[in-house]
Amino acid sequence: MKTREKRAGQRSAVLLHIVACKACSAEWQSDPAIRVACSECKAEAGQPCRWQRPHGYGFHMRRDLLAMREGHLSACDALTWDGRHSRHAIAVTAPVQLALI
């Protein structure tokens, strides 16, 4: 019986995607740079840039700098050449409350 309960709990786990900086370990619920429109590729606010650069950057530099100027994104505390966060999405398991019937 305990094995069935354990398996049921594992199946109901919810994966959440958060955004974290590889350099300084800062975390956000969603990418702060996406709150502003991109002047380079014309992606609207809420939409990702339309290309992926090497080295893990997924947004144009101008978009990141605009997000920093508007206060949506802070400068990276780690030693980076441009002060930008090296952001990537990671999946984490959310705690789940199981209802017993």
What integer pLDDT is reported at residue 67 of this predicted model?
94
pTM score, whole prediction:
0.66
The pLDDT value given to residue 89: 80
For residue range 30-65, what is the model confidence (pLDDT) as tens digits?
889 999 999 888 999 998 887 766 655 667 889 999
* Terminal alpha carbon distance of the chain: 14
| Token representation of residue 92 | 């984490």
Q: Where are the domains of the chain?
A: 35-93
Going by C-alpha positions, the residue among 86, 94, 98 that lies closest to residue 15 is 94
Q: Using an 8 Å Cβ cutoff, are 39 and 63 in contact?
A: yes
